Chain A
Amino acid sequence: MNPYVPRIAVIESIVDETPDIKTFRLRITDGGFSFVPGQFVMVSVLGVGESAISISSHPDDAEKFIEISVRKVGNVTGSLFRLKPGDKVGVRGPFGNGWPVDKAVGKDLLIVGGGCGQGALRPLILDVLRHRDRYGRVEILYGARTPQDLMFKYEHDVWASVPQGCLLLTVDRVPPGVEWKHNVGVVTRLFEHVTVDPANSLVCICGPEIMMHFAVKGLLSMGFKESQIYLSMERRMKCGVGKCGHCQIGGKYVCKDGPIFTYEELKLEPDKIL
């Protein structure tokens, strides 16, 4: 099989998440698809180009559809935003390694998301909801710029009601006239409310690298070990399959060895904010 040639997917529906993020539900037209939470696809708008986008839906639905949640930042993402249900896009993948769902069995989970990074974490959160008995205590921390920038608002009640768990939200600022009953401040401020047991837990983080930098610092001082902290990394990607070189962080390929790494694996690599 040629790993550079995309399969065709039809856009089934589009949800406006925030002013600059949309979730696209895609049906792959030529047969099966399977993935694990945390993996990504390369999405093509032919004639424009390709972008790496995390899958934001749950693997159990993959036979019927996958979802991607896209922030409009440039050419490819901008073109995606102009598409309508029924339009077609190219999809390659899934690529990458995924969250440590097997290692997390029986352990507490701390899930920390920032901005658009919540898309990569949603399959993991859905997995907790669908297979609640696999995990111990599960705490979800999620921060965005403003209340309008929070994704998956329509699901927050379900996330918050997970037994033995909690959902803590924070925003950088609240524009005048907007109602907000949760926290204000950076996501690491929520760490003081964390009750998962550092001795028996895994932390999964996805967000801007500067946010992950501060999150790691905070977590280490709380007693979490470098090997317990999993980070989903973002780098420029052209191939997704370990060939074009663009996604390298020192000796690691984000597309192939990642996108999810423990802090222990990354800490000695150059050229990162982490």
Chain B
Amino acid sequence: MNDGKADRLDEIIASHSRREGPLLPILHDIQAEFGHVSEEAKRRIAGALNLSRAEVHGVVSFYHDFRSEPAGKPVLKLCRAEACKSRGVEALVGAAEAVAGDRVAVETVYCLGLCTVGPNAMVGKTVHARLDSAKLTALIGEMA
């Protein structure tokens, strides 16, 4: 593997060395920079934190936010929890997935905390409210 990448991984890991229980912050940073937590990253973290590779893998696989493989396409997180359901999100799902096709991943998230103005979605750190079918498909269209 590329040495620059390995150095960068070590740099990220080292930047959290003064924290108590640093694993989650490390994984967040790695995921933010590389888009996923690779096998190489898991081994380097394990070495640095004195954990087994299995322990690190266990944490990565437990949390919905972390992925072991790159997403490969832009991700839209659509809230399908109760409040958005009560405001009709389920009726939007079919059309959204049709527009997304294999160019955009429409993932489910349970609650963005905007429960009075749903249906809601999040792209990166940007939140979108009061979605109807037209707005949602337009949003997905812009991402593809």
**A and B assemble together:** no
Where the two chains meet, the residues of A that have a C-beta atom closer than 8 Å to any C-beta of B are: none
Where the two chains meet, the residues of B that have a C-beta atom closer than 8 Å to any C-beta of A are: none
